[in-house]
C-alpha cells in the first residue's frame, strides 16, 4: 500500500469508508486514516481532545459521525477477540 498524503485523505476516506465492511484493503485504509487523524489531533493547540479531533477531521474532510462509527466498530471487534 502506498503512503497516504494529507491531500489524499478526504478522497481516500470517501472511496474506502463505504467499502470497509466487505473489502479488507478498504478496512485497512480507513484504519490507517484513523491513526493519522488521531496523531494529527494530538498536536492541535485546542485544550480538549474532542475539539482537537473535530478540527483535524474538518481539516481533512472526514465526517465526524463516520469516524466515530468506525472507531466504535473497531473497539467492539477488539473486545470480542479477547
HSE toward the beta carbon, residue 44, CA cutoff 13 A: 20
User: How far is Cα 78 from Cα 82, in angstroms, rounded to an integer?
Assistant: 7
Judging by beta carbons within 10 Å of its beta carbon (0-12, 13-18, 19+), is residue 21 exposed, middle or buried? Answer: exposed
Question: 6-22: per-residue pLDDT in tens?
Answer: 789 999 999 999 999 99
H/E stretch holding 49: helix 49-60
The predicted model gives 62-74 an average pLDDT of 91
Q: What is the pTM of this model?
A: 0.83
Amino acid at each position: 500500500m502506498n503512503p497516504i498524503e494529507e491531500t489524499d485523505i478526504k478522497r481516500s476516506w470517501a472511496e474506502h469508508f463505504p467499502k470497509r465492511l466487505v473489502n479488507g484493503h478498504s478496512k485497512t485504509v480507513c484504519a490507517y486514516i484513523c491513526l493519522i487523524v488521531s496523531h494529527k489531533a494530538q498536536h492541535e493547540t485546542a485544550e480538549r481532545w474532542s475539539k482537537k479531533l473535530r478540527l483535524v477531521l474538518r481539516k481533512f474532510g472526514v465526517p465526524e459521525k463516520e469516524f466515530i462509527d468506525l472507531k466504535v466498530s473497531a473497539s467492539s471487534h477488539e473486545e470480542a477477540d479477547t
